[in-house]
Amino acid sequence: MRDGSRTRIKLVGILIFLFGLALLGRLFYLQIIKHDYYSDKANAQYIGKSPQMFNRGDIYFKKKDGQLISGATIKNGFLVALIPKQITNPEDVYNKISKIIDVDRENFFKKINKKNDPYEEIAHRLNEDEKKEIEKLNIDGLRLYPESWRYYPAKNLAANVIGFVGFKDNDLLGRYGIEYKYDEVLKGENGNNNVNFFAEILSKIKKELKGGGNESGSVVLSIDPVVQSFLENTIQKNFDNLKAEQAGGLIIDPKTGRIIAMAIKPDFDPNNYSKVKDQSLFVNPMVENIFEMGSIMKPLTIAAAIDQNKITPQTTYFDKGYVDIDSRRLNNFDKKGRGKVDMQEVLNQSLNTGAVFAEQQLGHEKFREYIKNYGFGSKTEIDLPGEIAGRISTLESKRDVEFATASFGQNIAVTPIAMIIALSSLANGGFIVRPHVVDEIKYENGDIVKTEPKIIKQVLKKETTEILSGMLSKVYDSILGGQFKIDHYSVSAKTGTAQMTKDGKYLEGDQNLHTFFGYAPSYNPKFLTFLFLINPQGVRFASVSLTPPFSDITKFLINYYEIPPDR
Amino acid sequence: MTRIIEKVEKEEARRKLFGLLIFSAILMISLYMYFMSVTVIKTVERKENIMIIQGLNSDNQALEESYFSILNKFNKDYAYSLGFVDQKNTDFVFKSGSVAKR
């Protein structure tokens, strides 16, 4: 080999050697000298983030113009952690950081005394400014790590619908409401894992090779925050004034089953759910509790009898103020008789004897059939968790009195949502629709799954519903002497006052359930409102307790949705 | 003579091969450095973008919070306090039949 070639080979060899040496040196620097630094950094990015960092889809409210407003989202901030053995002067460290953030002194010193513990968290949810202030202190053994948490900017608004995310064992999961029902959608396949950029690329490649996975998505509710806020403020005021045990309200589009607002009082702030002592507040009574609804049942009984051509609004009977069945006396609310009255008066004056008459004209078999078709014995399949079916087993009895009491809303118990769907059939031409609070799901990959309105069945003829809407319109116009009649708008409505039951027995005194439903405009309704109050104090009838808030809500909705007058 | 020619040709081929190797090595190193730099820059940019997005999200959350507090404040009582008066004797204008015709 020639000298020239040897020299060149040596030159290349030296270059490769130097390059290798440089790589080795860099490796030594990174792996040995800066090991702790990069190890901390990597942990903070990769391991340390879980469960402090987690991905979860948002939940949105939807305004009437389609604008989305966050109901549940992810908030980012920082946590402060200590390496106890590196803290040489705990008192000084405590004094410095407690000037910037709230730190519990006892807890701080308890943690700092765990000298063998490599990592102790002392404060959470710091914002950017607080983080910068802490960093400026430059304290050895003090670390700041990014963290994120579920945040509900609307606080109590629609809390029973949205629910919250909480720990179950060691996992962060949706616990109630939409957070629970759509947990799989919101968290997607990645769940709580948060990985760095390179790991994310690798995980995506892996996912593609495996054939993809479940994308996480955001849930868009049909709840309009403006309407929800108005409904909540109105029923809260009523709840406070009447010192009730519980109050609730729901506004639905009766034609599509789209729920625009759903409120329960008292409620809770999902940001601080751990501070709530009474866990029954997390339950949504609209779908998870059953009640004997009382007189709002009467329009459904009369509708069924009219639908079968057994009676008309002009059909009359003689009201003695009571009716004796199976050796039981069933009275009107005031135990007074009105003599010869027609079906319109039965609704106007809420006569129990009239509802019994209508049921008797219809017959037990047909009455039971209509009750089942209204959906009272089954679930509505609403997209909220924990729904229960109504209790209508009393109608399997052969005793006449069971059917008589059921005709005016006693002895059968149903969820408010089931009652609302049944009443919606009076407003929408006779259809039972599936109620929903989710408008659409927006997946990360861009897919959008919309909730289509679903008609379950037709239970009443259109003509029957038109007759009932007219009758109920007269009812609303006559409530409390007609003082709540709305000029230029027809409103169909009915009140209900039912005795509360406990352990199978009716409670005496003020232990009542007040209910109210109404829709407007009567013959082409844009919304149906349902209100209830449990045990309001100092007021006997729902016509007094719930007509004023219903009237306020109806006027608001007419203005908000710019509904043209119909009379 | 033939041997001399062959030797010269081999020498020429070796030189070309060596040049090619050097060129390939430089190319590989350059490409490696280029792609590494791009990756690092993109990673840094991505991190910065995430920070910007988080900042914007925080701003948006603050706006939504104030939106909800204002929403609670805007009611009829507030309107009355600003001088709102309920409209009396509302009249509506309507026209029977359809207006638009094909």
A440 close to A213: Cβ distance less than 8 angstroms: no
What distance in Å separates the CA atoms of residue A417 and residue A408, rounded to the nearest whole number?
A: 18
A497 neighbors A540 (Cβ within 8 angstroms): yes
The pLDDT assigned to A12 comes to 81
State the pLDDT confidence band at A85, using cuts at 50, 70 and 90: confident
Q: Is B101 part of any domain?
A: no
Judged by DSSP in three states, A320 sits in coil
| Sign of the four-CA dihedral A376, A377, A378, A382 | positive
Which residues 7-36 of B are in CB contact (within 8 Å) with A? 11, 14, 18, 21-22, 25
pLDDT band at A43 (very low <50, low <70, confident <90, very high): low
Q: Among A329, A513, A518, A503, which residue's Cα sits nearest to residue A420?
A: A518
pLDDT of residue A46: 44
- The better pLDDT of the pair A122, A511 is held by A122
- Residue A210 has a pLDDT of 61
Q: How confident is the model at residue A192 (pLDDT cuts 50, 70, 90)?
A: very low
Rounded Cα distance between A426 and A438, Å, is: 24
Rounded to 5 degrees, what are φ and ψ at A220? -105, 120
Distance from the first to the final alpha carbon of chain A: 111
> How far is residue A151's CA from residue A60's CA, in Å, rounded to a whole number?
12
Q: Which of B38, B71, B91 to mutate to test the interface with A (most CBs of A within 10 A)?
A: B71
The reply to whether B100 falls in a domain is: no
Tokens of A163: 């629910």
User: How far, in Å, CA of A527 to CA of B101, rounded?
Assistant: 30
pTM equals 0.83
Which stretch of A49-58, A127-136, A379-388, B23-32 has the lowest confidence by average pLDDT?
A: A49-58
In total, how many domains does chain B have? Answer: 1
ipTM surpasses 0.85: no
CA–CA gap between residue A51 and residue A40 (Å, rounded): 17
A75 CB within 8 Å of a chain B CB: yes
B42 inside domain: yes
The pLDDT-based confidence of A167 (bands split at 50, 70, 90) is confident
* A63 lies within 8 A of chain B by CB: no
| Span A361-388, average pLDDT | 96
B90–chain A Cβ distance below 8 A for any pair: yes
Q: Determine contact: A73 vs chain B, CB below 8 A.
A: yes
Backbone angles phi, psi at A249, to 5 degrees: -155, 145
Own/partner contacts of A336-340, CB < 8 Å, gap of 24 or more, are A340/A316
Residue B73 lies in a domain: yes
Cβ neighbours of A20 (radius 10 Å): 10
Decide if B96 is inside a domain.
no
**What torsion, rounded to 10 degrees, do the Cα atoms B69, B72, B75, B78 define?**
-50
Kindly indicate the confidence band of residue A470, based on its pLDDT and cuts at 50, 70 and 90.
very high
Q: How far is A13 from chain B (nearest CA, A)?
A: 12
The string of pLDDT tens digits covering residues A114-130 is 888 888 898 998 988 89
Rounded to the nearest angstrom, the minimum Cα separation between B60 and chain A is: 9
Cβ–Cβ of A157/B46 closer than 8 Å? no
Q: Do B72 and A233 touch (CB under 8 A)?
A: yes
For B18, the closest of A8, A69, A564 (CB atoms) is A8
> How far is it, in rounded angstroms, from Cα A523 to Cα A25?
84
Residues of A with Cβ-Cβ distance to B57 under 8 angstroms: 73, 76
For A31-85, the DSSP string reads: IIITHHHHHHHHIIIIITTTTTS-----EEEE-TTS-EEEEEEEEEEEEEEE-GG
Find all residues with CB under 8 Å of A289, minimum gap 6, and list them. A283, A388, A415, A416
Window 151-190 of A, Cβ < 8 Å to B:
151, 153-155, 157
Chains A, B: CB contacts within 8 A come to 49
- Least CA distance to A129: which residue of chain B? B55
Q: Which residue of A has its CA nearest to B86?
A: A555
Residue B61 has its nearest CB partner, among A151, A157, A565, at A151
Binary contact (A229, B54; C-beta < 8 A): no
Average pLDDT, chain A: 90
The rounded distance, in Å, linking the Cα atoms of A465 and A374 is 13
Nearest residue in A to B67, CA atom: A154
Interface test with A, best of B68, B73, B78 (most A CBs within 10 A): B68
Q: What is the pLDDT of residue A484?
A: 94
pLDDT score of A485: 93
- Answer yes or no: do B61 and A70 touch at CB < 8 A: yes
pLDDT greater than 90 at residue A506: no
Give residue A11's pLDDT band: very low, low, confident or very high (50, 70, 90).
Answer: confident
Answer yes or no: is B40 within a domain. yes
User: A31-35, A178-182, A229-233, A260-264 — which is least confidently predicted?
Assistant: A31-35
State the maximum Cα–Cα separation within chain A, in Å, rounded to a whole number.
Answer: 132
pLDDT tens, position by position, for chain B (102 residues)? 677 777 777 888 888 888 999 999 999 999 999 999 988 898 889 889 988 888 888 889 889 999 999 988 888 888 889 998 887 777 777 666 655 554
Residue B97, in any domain of the structure: no
Q: Does any CB of chain B come closer than 8 Å to the CB of residue A233?
A: yes
Å from B88 to nearest chain A CA? 10
User: Stretch A332-343: mean pLDDT, rounded?
Assistant: 94
Peptide bond into A266 cis (omega under 30): yes
CB distance A161 to A231 below 8 Å: no
Average pLDDT, integer, range A330-353: 95
Q: Give the model's pLDDT for residue B63.
A: 93
Could you tell me if A535 and A244 are in contact, meaning their C-beta atoms sit under 8 angstroms apart?
yes
Indicate if the pLDDT at residue A48 is higher than 50: no
What distance in Å separates residue A115's CA from the closest CA in chain B? 34
Chain A touched by B49 (CB under 8 Å): no
Which element (helix H / strand E) includes B9?
Answer: helix B2-73
Give the structural domain span for B7. Answer: 2-81
pLDDT level of residue A372 (50, 70, 90 thresholds): very high
Residue B8 lies in a domain: yes
H helix intervals, A116-257: 128-137, 159-162, 177-181, 183-187, 197-209, 225-241
Residue contact B75–A233, C-beta within 8 A = yes
CB A75 to CB B14 under 8 A?
no
* Cross-chain residue pair B64–A155, CB shorter than 8 Å: no
Q: Which chain A residue shows the shortest CA-CA distance from B60?
A: A70
**Minimal C-alpha gap between A458 and chain B (Å):** 31
Give the per-residue pLDDT at A197: 58
User: Using a CB-CB distance cutoff of 8 angstroms, which residues of chain A are in contact with residue B90?
Assistant: 487-488
Name every chain B residue with its beta carbon within 8 A of the beta carbon of A153. 61, 64-65, 68
Judge whether residue A5 has pLDDT over 80: no
